[in-house]
Amino acid sequence: MKNKELLVHKEGMEMILTVDQMVRIAHAGGGLDLSGKILTVDQIVRIAHAASTHKATIIVPASDFILTVDQMVRIAHAGKGSVIFR
């Protein structure tokens, strides 16, 4: 599923990006607003880790899906301060 195209929502617009593309953007320092409905926890962890390398901000709309506290901690740990749950 890593090469499958996924939607990223930003200000009412939809962009189609693969997980690999989101990782590249985050690693370059670009922030992303992720839609949790279409990403697995492992994919969010991967993106969050990439964001942490250049202090990019990743917004995870936790209200879009159910995350356990352990999953949120795992994502937050990977992001090292770069993740915002809203």
pTM across the whole model:
0.80
Q: For residues 11-36, give the mean pLDDT.
A: 85
Spatial separation of the C-alpha atoms in residues 34 and 29, rounded to whole Å: 15
Domain count, the chain: 1
Integer CA distances (angstroms), 64 to 27, 28, 55, 59, 61, in order = 24, 26, 24, 12, 6
Q: For residues 4-14, give the mean pLDDT.
A: 54
CB contact at 8 A, 26 and 32: yes
Handedness of CA 59, 64, 65, 70 (dihedral sign): positive
pLDDT tens figures, 37-73: 688 999 999 999 999 999 999 999 877 778 899 999 9
- Range(s) of the domain holding residue 78: 5-85
